[in-house]
Structure 1
């Protein structure tokens, strides 16, 4: 049994796990010296991108893996289980912690806090064979890793993201999310994405801030002033070309259950931390994956005419790019490469804010 103070130190590291738009869909309770409870939740009730809670479940998996890695730094073995009978929108994870004499600290431990999103252009220096091998090995046997590295492949991904961004920026349901997730005028944000980390130049950021005050302004700029062009160039097309590779995490079995998505989050976090261990950076590119989930489920994305047709077209283009069948499962899509250290990032809520009890 561990001292409670050590468990709080473990949770203080674990809270640095990634989550969609820095939502941090979890709260903690230390029950005893060998029992931590993670109360998860999802954001599907307000976030278009949280399809059936999958991205939130993946964030839970990333958190649980980060917690396990953090525990090894104290010679502790942490194992988790999904509590039977919990609801889909509020899953509960019981984490048991035991002393493990001789257990070595996980090599990824030192990268938990330094792992960060890099949304700006990266260097195009190709990955080495050794780097590819490390990334493939990081995800475990339940997943495959597909790379898109050549100029032609990066150009095809850039076109896919260009189309995906057009849907994202012209969909009123997505606008409601975008309006909430950016903390304007900030370099750091504990519960959103700070403006300086968005990835656009200051002039575009100022324009975006003004335009996004109402959907009427967004529609006017999109219709008459090519309002989607500047952000798509800066946020999607240029970064898609300026990287070493795009990486697709492919589960070997469909993401059918809540547990499947949690395991995908474990693999995602190990991939991301390994990227950091290699001295590289990563930017998630989940919108094409999420839109593909909507298309696979024949689920409408928007009430606006034409959006769902565009989503189905994007899904078929994604399949063609990856050489996949329409039912093949995808879990995580990102770009990686070398770059300078970002000066702005999302931070986290304090541990006190994340605890359910004092």
Structure 2
């Protein structure tokens, strides 16, 4: 049985796993020296981007994989199971640890805290053959990584994200989410995205801060002052061109339930940490994937009819771009490239805030 101090060190590393808008949808319970319970939750009731909790479930998977990698650095093997009777919106994962004498730490161990989101344009230097090979292998045999690297492909993705951003910025149901996730005037944030990491220039940031105080202002700027143009250029179009390429993670079999999305989160985290290991930065581009989940389920997320029409067109454009059918499953979309280390980033809540009795 591991000492409590060792378990705390493992959890202190595990908490650096990524989650949607830095929501950290998990709490930790140390049950015994060889048993940690991860108590998950989701944000589907108030965040439209958490379709049926799937984004949070992927976050749980990233956390569980990070915990496993962290444990390997202390000579421990960690395995998890979903507790019988767990509900999808409050799943409990039982993590059991056992000694693994002589085993080396996972090669991704030292990249746990190094992994970060880069929302600004990156170098367009192409991926090397080695980088492409290790990225393709990182998620495991149950997933295919599709690469979109040419200038033509990056331009098509830029157009897709341009249209996607219009939906995101004109949807009243998304406004409440956007209003709460940014910590204005901050370089670091423990539970949100700091202003410095958003990816816009200071003038645009000040304007966004003022406009986003009320939906009426957002609507006025969008309708009469081309309010979506500056953020779409800086947050979507230019970054989509300024990278080595975009990666689409496609499961060989479509996810059928909570555990499948948790496993997709495991694959996502291994892809992300591997990108860090080969000198790349990464930015998730998940909203086109999530909007497409709504389309596949035949469900709308906005009371505005135009939003529904645009979302349907967006899903079709996404499928045409990657040569997929309506039934094809997508679980993660991102861009990668070389860049300087971001000077601003999301931190995490202190471990003491994440521990429960």
TM range (shorter): over 0.9
Q: Distance in 2 between matches of 1:102 and 1:316?
A: 51
Deviation at 1:147, TM superposition (A): 0.4
CA distance in 2, matches of 1:103, 1:34: 18
Task: Find the counterpart in structure 1 of residue 98 from structure 2.
Answer: 98
For 2:352 and 2:243, the matched residues in 1 are separated by: 38
Q: How do 1:262-341 and structure 2 match up within 5 A?
A: 262-341=262-341
Off by >3 Å, runs of 4+ in structure 1: none
Partner residue in 1 for 2:354: 354
2:89 is the counterpart of 1:89: yes
Aligned residue for 1:27? 27
Displacement after TM superposition at 1:4 (Å): 1.3
- C-alpha root-mean-square deviation of aligned residues, in Å? 0.4
Alpha-carbon shift at residue 219 of structure 1 (Å): 0.3
**How far apart, CA to CA, are the structure 1 residues paired with 2:5 and 2:257?**
34
Counterpart residue number, 1:59: 59
Partner of 2:2: 2
Alignment of 1:190 with 2:174, yes or no, is no
Q: Provide the secondary structure at the position in 2 that maps to 1:118.
A: coil
Q: CA deviation at 1:255?
A: 1.4
Residue 103 of structure 1, CA deviation:
1.3
Task: State how many pairs are aligned.
Answer: 357
Determine the C-alpha separation between the residues in 2 that align with 1:185 and 1:331: 33
Identify the residue that residue 71 of structure 2 maps to in structure 1.
71
Distance in 2 (alpha carbons) for counterparts of 1:108 and 1:279: 12
Distance 2:136 2:149 in 1: 15
Shift of 1:5: 1.0
Residues in 1 aligned to 2:184 and 2:327: alpha-carbon distance in whole angstroms = 39
Quick one: distance in 2 between partners of 1:70 and 1:88?
26
**Residues 247-262 of structure 1 mapped to structure 2, 5 A cutoff:** 247-262=247-262
In 1, Cα distance between the equivalents of 2:39 and 2:129?
A: 40
Hey, what does 1:169 align to over in structure 2? 169
3-state SS, counterpart of residue 186 of structure 2: coil
TM-score (norm 1): 0.99
Q: Which consecutive residues of structure 1, in runs of 5 or more, have no partner in the other structure?
A: none
What residue number does 1:224 align with? Answer: 224
Q: 1:76-116: per-residue Cα shift (whole Å, max 9, x none)?
A: 00000000101110000000000011111001000000100
Pairing 1:197-216 to 2, within 5 Å after superposition = 197-216=197-216
Distance 1:46 1:185 in 2: 25
Superposition deviation, residue 156 in structure 1: 0.2
CA distance in 2 between partners of 1:305 and 1:231 (Å): 23
Stretches of structure 2 that go unaligned for 5 or more consecutive residues are: none
TM-score norm. by structure 2 comes to: 1.00
Post-superposition offset of 1:148: 0.3
Q: Distance in 2 between matches of 1:270 and 1:322?
A: 22
> Shift of residue 305 of structure 1?
2.1
> Which runs of structure 2 are paired with 1:5-20 in the superposition (5 Å)?
5-20=5-20
- What residue in structure 2 maps to residue 180 of structure 1? 180
Quick one: distance in 1 between partners of 2:331 and 2:12? 27
Which residue of structure 1 aligns with residue 112 of structure 2?
Answer: 112
**2: distance between equivalents of 1:32 and 1:144?**
38
Question: Which residue does 1:42 correspond to in 2?
Answer: 42
Shift in Å, 1:193: 0.2
CA shift digits 1:158-211 (9 cap, x unpaired): 000000000000000001100010000000000000001000000000000000
Secondary structure of the structure 2 residue equivalent to 1:39: strand
In 2, Cα distance between equivalents of 1:295 and 1:34: 43
1:229 CA displacement: 0.2
CA deviation digits over 1:329-349, x for unaligned, max 9? 000000000001100000000
Counterpart of 1:152?
152
